[in-house]
């Protein structure tokens, strides 16, 4: 795991200042505290920060190929590198190191961009081929590892693992993209098709880009997608056996490391499944860690300890104060872009705990997206059944009218939020799921904006790209499309961003075995009854893991990390909530109606309404703008 940065001149190959590349990569020192390096050539510069995991004593970067033709900087892990190394060696390739970086160089020399489907793992890398005079930028299938890019005024393209690497370049413009503000208000994060800064892009997951000197930069090319159009046949027992085979392979392949390795253990289905399979494959006790809260309703440590005892793990746990709001400013620095998933705080804390004992930790991320574990997916499947029976001509006036007059009840469980359900049923499936996935609905966003800012974003709505993605998805059912959206939109934008930044902030490598692409492709072909059955999501996964885990772990209600932001914003952060409308940087942008924001803040502080999610989003946006030096 590492941080990468670089500069490439797409026009005339001007000289690249190595000190500038060094400053960009040094801004990523937290991602790689074990080593650094810079290489420059005509029109190109590559920088690297290393966190040593494989071949600790060797494999420095930037690394050149055996024939001197190519140079690479690489962030990630290739889990099948040993198999690829044997195959390439049998065809004459020579290797000087024992790591996976040199395998990518040899694979490029042998197969060109067709090497990408052969790489099993998480990665973002930049590979410069001096013979072809071209730079390959590539990102893994599901977007576990990030890559930011910016077109600069001198004709170059700069890239880095995090936005802070680009911020170290003096030519980067710090001007907010108004469409990104609309996206952020809708989702609570800036999705991969946008950046908070104009002129900055993110290489999409499963895409590559080939840049050439004296040629305009071409758009990214997709090299992988997940296909929901096919269905597996066969008995449940056979599908369960195949699932277990994929899970075992995914877990054991991610246990290869030359440094201490462990796992996050929340006591939920996904992390417990990973720990169970790790224990099955390990001679030594698996090192596990979890955090809890001193509020019983938020605490899951009893379940984590139950699983740890069951598998004899070397378990560490720590209770943290739910009033852990002191790290708000640290989060803004960690993420650069505004990021409002409040579970980032406890995720960061568990990464800190893990780093005390290990350098690599396996997580359970990805199962909800792949196997339909989110409640919103289950509700969407039910709503799609209703849409199939009731014609749109009936649904729109009836449910649309009910949704308009029904009182809002965000405090209630989702099945009792009739307003949300009515609004969703009035729309088609894609629009309904966009509403379910969003944080601030379009009606409220529109009421928050000033007239000037509304003109700046024109007719753009943040939901439009998601709905277009769902409608064009390679899918057969509404549930397929919802899962496709979660894997392609929500997962890289929210979940993987959260885990990457919080783990890398403490120089910890997080690996996600349940995002192995072969496992994802298998899950996408499961019949719907193997995903959802009896109102239970992740049905086949839970059924398969019953041989390892007790029912009170497998079938208890999903919790996840909870942060008491509603209480914070009525208590110690009440002043911050008021400042959003009056004294903060956000108030000076001219984007939002100050009177409206003030009314919302006071209603929340007084306990008349719960506007905590919106106020938290605005607070994190304010902190991010301050960090980036943006006033509007």
Catalytic residues: 2
Compute the distance between CA of residue 86 and CA of residue 102 in angstroms, rounded to an integer. Answer: 13
Residue 287: closest CA among 196, 230, 359: 359
Is 100 marked within a binding site? yes
CA 275, 278, 279, 284: dihedral to nearest 10 degrees? Answer: -120
Is 457 marked within a binding site? no
Compute the distance between CA of residue 32 and CA of residue 51 in angstroms, rounded to an integer. Answer: 4
Three-state DSSP at 388 gives helix
SS3 for 291-336 is EEECCHHHCCHHHHHHHHHHHCCEEEEEEECCCCHHHHHHHHHHHC
Alpha-carbon separation of residue 148 from 55, 166, 233, 247 (angstroms): 27, 8, 41, 31
Is the peptide bond prior to 62 cis by the omega test (within 30 degrees of 0)? yes
Q: What are the residues whose beta carbons fall under 8 Å from the beta carbon of 307, sequence distance 6 or more?
A: 265, 267, 272, 275, 276, 313, 549, 553
CA 502, 208, 365, 622: dihedral to nearest 10 degrees? Answer: 40
Are 354 and 202 within 8 A, CB to CB? no
Tokens at 389, concatenated = 């029976």
Residue 400: closest CA among 367, 376, 422: 422
Helix (H) or strand (E) run with residue 281 in it: helix 269-281
Residue 354: closest CA among 265, 252, 251, 256: 265
Helix (H) or strand (E) run with residue 362 in it: strand 360-362
Is 4 marked within a binding site? no
Is 363 marked within a binding site? yes
Binding residues for L-glutamine: 100
Binding residues: 100, 291, 363-364
Binding residues for ATP: 291, 363-364
């Amino acid at each position: 795991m590492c941080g990468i940065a670089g500069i490439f001149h797409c026009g005339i190959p001007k000289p690249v200042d190595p000190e500038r590349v060094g400053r960009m990569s040094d801004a990523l020192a937290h991602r790689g505290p074990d080593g650094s390096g810079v290489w420059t050539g005509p029109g190109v510069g590559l920088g690297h920060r290393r966190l040593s995991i494989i071949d600790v004593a060797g494999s420095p970067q930037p690394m050149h190929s055996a024939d001197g033709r190519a140079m690479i900087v690489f962030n990630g892990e290739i889990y099948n590198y040993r198999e690829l190394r044997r195959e390439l060696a049998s065809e004459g390739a020579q290797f000087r190191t024992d790591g996976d970086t040199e395998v990518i160089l040899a694979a490029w020399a042998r197969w060109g961009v067709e090497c990408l489907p052969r790489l099993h793992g998480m990665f973002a890398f930049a590979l410069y081929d001096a013979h072809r005079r071209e730079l390959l930028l590539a990102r893994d299938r599901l977007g576990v590892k990030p890559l930011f890019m910016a077109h600069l005024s001198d004709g170059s393209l700069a890239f880095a693992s995090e936005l802070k690497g680009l911020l170290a370049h003096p030519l980067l413009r710090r001007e907010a993209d108004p469409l990104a503000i609309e996206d952020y208000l809708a989702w609570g994060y800036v999705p991969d098709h946008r950046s908070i800064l104009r002129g900055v892009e993110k290489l999409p997951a499963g895409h590559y880009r080939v840049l050439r000197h004296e040629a305009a930069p071409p758009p990214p090319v997709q090299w992988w997608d997940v296909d929901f159009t096919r269905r597996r046949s066969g008995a449940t027992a056979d599908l369960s056996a195949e699932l277990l085979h994929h899970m075992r392979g995914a877990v054991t392949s991610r246990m290869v490391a030359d440094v201490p390795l462990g796992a996050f253990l929340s006591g939920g289905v996904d992390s417990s499944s990973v720990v169970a399979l790790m224990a099955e494959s390990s001679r030594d006790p698996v090192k596990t860690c979890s955090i809890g809260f001193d509020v019983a309703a938020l605490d899951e440590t009893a379940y984590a300890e139950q699983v740890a005892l069951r598998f004899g793990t070397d378990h560490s746990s720590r209770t943290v104060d739910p009033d852990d709001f002191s790290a708000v400013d640290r989060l803004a620095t960690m993420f650069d872009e505004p990021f409002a998933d409040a579970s980032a705080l406890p995720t960061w804390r568990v990464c800190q705990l893990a780093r005390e004992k290990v350098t690599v930790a396996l997580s359970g991320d990805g199962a909800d997206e792949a196997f339909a574990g989110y409640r919103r997916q289950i509700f969407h499947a039910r709503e799609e059944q209703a849409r199939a029976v009731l014609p749109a001509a009936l649904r729109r006036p009836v449910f649309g009218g009910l949704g308009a007059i029904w009182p809002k009840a965000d405090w209630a469980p989702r099945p009792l939020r009739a307003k949300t359900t009515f609004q969703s049923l009035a729309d088609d499936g894609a629009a309904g799921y966009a509403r379910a996935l969003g944080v601030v609905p379009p009606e409220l966003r529109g009421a928050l904006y000033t007239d000037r800012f509304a003109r700046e974003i024109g007719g753009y709505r943040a939901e439009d790209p998601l709905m277009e993605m769902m409608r064009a998805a390679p899918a057969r059912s509404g549930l397929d499309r919802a899962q496709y959206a979660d894997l392609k939109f929500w997962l890289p934008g929210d979940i993987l961003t959260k885990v990457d930044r919080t783990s890398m902030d403490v120089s910890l490598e997080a690996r996600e075995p349940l995002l192995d692409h072969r496992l994802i492709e298998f899950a996408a072909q499961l019949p719907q009854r193997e995903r959802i059955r009896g109102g239970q999501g992740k049905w086949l996964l839970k059924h398969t893991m019953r041989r390892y885990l007790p029912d009170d772990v497998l079938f208890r209600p999903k919790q996840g990390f909870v942060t008491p932001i509603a209480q914070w914003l009525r208590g110690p952060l009440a002043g911050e909530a008021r400042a959003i409308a009056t004294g903060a940087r956000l108030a000076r942008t001219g984007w939002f109606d100050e009177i409206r924001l003030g009314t919302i803040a006071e209603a929340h502080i007084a306990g008349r309404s719960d506007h905590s999610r919106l106020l938290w989003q605005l607070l994190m946006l304010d902190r991010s703008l301050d960090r980036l030096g943006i006033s509007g």
